[in-house]
Amino acid sequence: MSNCLKLMIILGLLLRVALLGTISKDGFVMAYDFLETVRKQNSSKQIYIKDTVRIRGYFSFMDSLVATYDDLTEYPISEHLLVRANPWIIDTLANTDYYRMSARDSFVYDQKQLIVLPKGNVLKVPDSLMACNLLQNFENTSIDVNIPEFKLRIYQDSELLYTFPIRVGQNRKRYLVMGDRRTDLRTKRGKGVIIKHVRDPDFYNPVDGKRFYLTKRDDEKTTLMPQIPWLETEINGNRNGQMIHPTTNPETLGKAYSNGCIGVKEADAWIIYYHAPIGTPITIRYDLKVKDENGNKKVLRDIYDYEQFR
């Protein structure tokens, strides 16, 4: 029996006591044993960072923590659980965004050299109750993309957690060497899941198939490509290479600009990644009639000309 299920049972027993003032002997023993287990499992566990961890070695370090602590916890620990239990890590990673750094008068040529976990910092290992809550949050999280609105939203149940600007695929067909065919570049609609994470992506131009390592930023400066996770989607049962990934040129957000992928800011990509473990549901829709932040109805531009073919 999982601790989450035990917790629900014990809460039910305690509720019975509160309402009826009665509890069976077996129920009392179960409640006592469970509370003792929770007390022991919820004793504080901390990880001390002995050496500075930079982005280049960040994922390897997190993998080593998962391997070490997996046998020491009562739940299946994961990178996502560890980071969500220490949300300052997400803030630190988001602040490595080239344009955030630039706004602080800091030019970053190689993002992989930036420090994520300074020596001496402490990470909290989530106890069983926190892990139970986080796992439930993951299960109740979904991603919603509205193509003509250029928005990606993250929901937990019906609560809106985040809204991010995006770019989407162009409204045309083009021959792509990587697919060796003439490809419809429009972002695909439908329902599906996050099927894969690519934590250290290689970069290829899909048009000519050539690998690249550098990028020209919106300020005309050149940097190495950053290491930020990409999320692969499976839509309507098909894996067509449609990714959610950061763009190094946020001037293209709010436009039909890509070769089909959904582009986001570098900072936003980290937040999306840590809210979307494998299996997270995603809906990609094309709704022209929406409401603005004030609740007023508006009709969006039909960027893919779908309406004229109805």
Residues 53 and 115 sit within 8 Å (Cβ to Cβ):
yes
Selection from 285, 281, 286, 290 nearest residue 302 by Cα: 286
Q: Which of 80, 132, 245, 275 is catalytic?
A: 245
| Dihedral, CA of residue 195, residue 199, residue 204 and residue 205, to nearest 10 | 70
Distance CA 55, CA 33 (A): 43
Evaluate whether 62 touches 79 at the Cβ level (below 8 Å).
yes
Inter-residue long-range contacts of 214-223, CB under 8 Å, 24+ positions, other chains counted: 215/248, 215/249, 216/249, 217/98, 217/99, 217/248, 217/249, 218/99, 218/249, 218/250, 218/251, 219/102, 221/107, 223/98, 223/108, 223/109, 223/110, 223/111, 223/248
CA dihedral angle for residue 199, residue 205, residue 207, residue 210, rounded to 10 degrees: -120
261 catalytically annotated: yes
Collapsing DSSP to helix, strand or coil, 146 comes out as strand
* Tokens (6 digits) for 172: 């045309």
Q: Which residues of 85-99 are buried (b: 16+ CB within 10 A; e: fewer)?
A: bbeebbebbbebbbe
Selecting among 4, 80, 197, 261, the annotated active-site residue is 261
Residues classed as catalytic: 245, 261
